[in-house]
Every structure is written in structure tokens, then in C-alpha cells.
Amino acid sequence: MCKVYVDGENLTIEDVVRVARENVEVTIPEEAKKRVRRSREILEKLVREDHVIYGVNTGFGALSNVRISPQEIRQLQSNLIRSHSSGVGKPTCRENVRALLLLRVNTLAKGYSGIRLKTLETLVEMLNKRVHPVIPAKGSVGASGDLAPLSHMILVLIGKGKAEYQGNVISGKKAMEKAGIEPVRLEFKEGLALNNGTQLMTTIAALTIFDAENLIKMTEVATALTLEGLLGILDAFDEKIHNVRPHQGQAVTACNIRRLIDGSMLVQTGREAVKKNRRPHDPYSLRCSPQVLGAARNAIAYAKRVIEIEINSATDNPLIFPETETCLSGGNFHGQPVSLAMDLLGIALTMVGNISERRTARLLDEKLNNGLPSFLISHEAKRGVNSGLMTVQYTAAALASENKVLAHPACADSIPTSAGFEDFVSMGVTAAQKAKQILENIEYIIAIELLCAAQAIEFRGPERLGKGTKIAYSTIRKTVPPLKEDRVLSNDIEKIRQTLKNRTILNKINRTLKID
């Protein structure tokens, strides 16, 4: 298993996933170590020369006008971490903690934070030896970054707080002892270098974006399978249509659906439909799927660009610039770029769920599904006695409606903190957490559509499917059997969701044809 090299410049979202979910080892290259040492040397020089430096020899936030004596500047740092460890609620999940440690190491490795190399290497050691701080999920307004979550992370670094180690939650001191790691005694500037930054919101964002890229592809698979289940019309996916409105995501979605249904005997052209006394085109939830899903693809791509910039950025304050031997105070800790991107992502994903729920409703309604039985239960079963797939649409509708509430933008909100000194905040963690919850809801919505579309194919003939949809159908059928009489459906939904999350369907399809 290859290591991830953390140099502050080249970390990718895929790297974050590998460290967070696969426990890949992390190392700092020598060039980055040199930058860290040089940054510390310049900071120490400025302190010796008695420069006034925010958070080094001044108080914090609204107390930044208070000068701190040389005898108290080290105590200032440990007090900062204690006082800012004010998070509440359930702990954030293990993969978030691992990604949080990684992103904090990466931003410090850029060499603009003035931290000691020893301190940075201790964070790496915690990550590699799997000492995972217990970090309450709530308490950040995304102003001076994620102060409370990062402070809880640093408590363990200094031998305080709580940590999960080898499956048990114990004191931070014991976790460090068991792992053979020496806790750090913070020197001047280090507390501020460690807890100023956007790392929790960016952590959640990076993992959510990675999952969203998979989700949009699986939504296209579900759309293609539903298109065949409803005897849909091909014309709307013709390349010529999308060439004259060249939004990239729209073209990719249309191309993917064409590949998935290639060879299908269930879809038809508009001209063929007219000959059968049908309309020449489908309802919007089918016909406009490239436009809707393509717009979501573009939003995901935008969010990904923002987050990949953010994970390789210096986000604490103040920053040390060794080339000019200066220390400047600014606002790179402010989470607005992340907050805006994640709100956009949440809105985009919400509409993905909304249109999927409409396709599911159409599959189940005998007035709209081109001859399929009501709720996709066989006429041979006693209808009324058997409800079929009726209520899975209720669940999809509930989740889609919940997402509409969650889609309200957090970045449009702000609430002053620190006696009004920090008077405009980003709410970045809220935006990221909402986007993650929306994504999880949509995984279930798409699983429900896949369940219903596969059931529709039982009445059309699986042998008539396209190249890609045939693979999707057979994978679903290896997971859940056709519905012949009523059974507990939540089990089926959960099983299909797992095939979506672990990329089982997508990986099998990609062995035969490429889904971009």
C-alpha cells in the first residue's frame, strides 16, 4: 500500500479518501521539512526582536489589543486550546478525524505557520499509529476556521482530552502512552497554528465530493434502467442535441446514458413511438435528465476545484513569509469559499434526488408507466392483499422533502462572535454537514429507483436490456430477488444502497464500458 506524501502542495481528494478510509500511511518529504524549519526560524527571530505578533504576544479575537508578557506566551498557547475546546454533541466519525489530522498536517507542511517540525511530526505519528481524537461534531461557525473541533484534536496532542485507540475510547494521555507517542508541550504560536483553519469543513467536503462523483454516475445508471423500464424514447439523448448547448456535464450525462442503453430493444425513437400512437417524447424526468444531472455534474466539478485548492492552502493566522522575513495577519481561516461550494453542492444533489423520486413515482403508477402493473406487483399476485412497491415511493418522497429543507444555504447566514470582533462568519461546517446528509438521503432515493426499475424489467424482459443496464440489472438481482409477493422492503433498499456505496455495480459496468 503506497504512502501519501504530504508536502502542502499536491494533496488530492483521492489521497484524503485513502488516508481516511483505507488507513494509508502518511509521510512528510524532506523539502517540506526544510520549509517548516525555516518558517520557525523566522518566527523565533521576530519574537526575539519584540515584534508585536497577533496570538504570539497578544491575546486572541476581541482581546488582540492585550499585550502578553514573554513569561506568559507559552501558557497563552495551552490556554487557547483549553478554552476553545467547547464543542458539543456526538463525536464526528472516525474517517472525518483521520482526514482532519491529514489536512491539518498538509496545511502546516506548506511552511507558513511557524510551527516546530517536532510538533508537526507528532501529528503524523498520531495519524499513522491511529490515535484518533474524540472531536464533538458541533461548535464551529467557520469564522477563525474550525476553532472548537481543531482544539479538541490538539488536546490529545498535548496529552489531554479523549481519544479512540484500538477500538476503545480512553484518555488522550493513555492513548498517547499506549501508542508510544510523546505528547507535545506547545511553544509560542503553536496553539494558534494548530486550531486556526478550515480543516473540519474541508474534511467533510472532500469526502462528500468523492462520494458525490460516484453518486451522479449511479444516478445515470438508474435513469437508464428506468428509461428502459418505461419504454422510453432515445431522441433526447442524441449527441446532436447536446452539441448545440455545450454544457460539459450535460454532454457527459447524455453520453453515459447512450452507452448504458446501447443495444437495448426496449427504447425507441420518437418516430417509432408515434407509429404506436404514443407521444413523440417523454416527460421531463426522463427527457431532461441530461440537463438536470449535467447541471449537478458541473456543480460537483466546481466544488471539487474549490476543495482541492483549499486542502493545499495555508489557512491559519498570522502567516510567516520567510522570503521577506515578515509575519502578516489576514483572514485565510475564513470558510466562505468552502461554505458557498458546499451549499451549491447540497442544492445540486437535492435536485438529483427530486428528479429520481419523480421517475420512481412514474414507474409505480399504472396510468403513467406504459402498461406495467400498478406498484409493479404481478397480476398473478392478489393486489390489495399485496401492495407491491407502493410505499418505497413514500420513503423517497420523505427523503426528497427533507433535502429541500436541508438545501437552504448556510452561507447566507451569519452570526457575530467574539464580542462583535468576528462579525461575519461562514457557517462552513454546517454547509458541509448538510451536503453530506443530503447525499446520504439521495443514496437511498437512488437505491429505491434501482429497486423499482429492476422490478419493471421483470415485466419487459431482462434479455432486451442494453449492454450497461443488463450488467446493472444482473448485479441488483444477485443482491435482491424479484418481488413476487409482499416482503420487508427496507432490507432490499439497504442492500442496493450498499452496492451503490461500494461501487459494485459501477465497477462491473466499467469492466465492459466506460462511464465518465
Residues assigned a catalytic role? 54
All three cell numbers of 319, joined, read: 502567516
Place of cell 483505507: 22
Distances (CA, A) of 105 to 38, 113, 150, 189, 311: 17, 11, 12, 16, 10
Place of cell 451549491: 344
Distances (CA, A) of 325 to 43, 53, 87, 156, 314: 8, 13, 36, 32, 17
Q: Prior bond to 322 cis, omega within 30?
A: no
Strands (E), 291-433: 319-321, 326-328
Residue type, 479: T
Which distant-in-sequence residues (6+ apart) come within 8 Å of 127 by Cβ?
19, 26, 98, 101, 102, 105
**What 3 state SS string does 427-476 have?**
CHHHHHHHHHHHHHHHHHHHHHHHHHHHHHHHHHCHHHCCHHHHHHHHHH
H/E element holding 200? helix 199-229
Which distant-in-sequence residues (6+ apart) come within 8 Å of 210 by Cβ?
13, 14, 16, 17
Q: Write the Ramachandran bin of 488: left for phi over 0, alpha for psi from -120 to 50, otherwise beta.
A: beta
The counts of H helices and E strands in the chain are: 20, 9
Strands (E), 139-179: 162-165, 168-171
User: Which of 128, 132, 131, 116 lies closest to 35, judged by CA?
Assistant: 116
Residue type, 231: L
H/E element holding 48? helix 30-48
Sign of CA dihedral 58, 62, 63, 66: positive
Report how far Cα 426 is from the mean position of its chain's Cα atoms: 18
User: Which of 262, 261, 281 lies closest to 271, judged by CA?
Assistant: 281
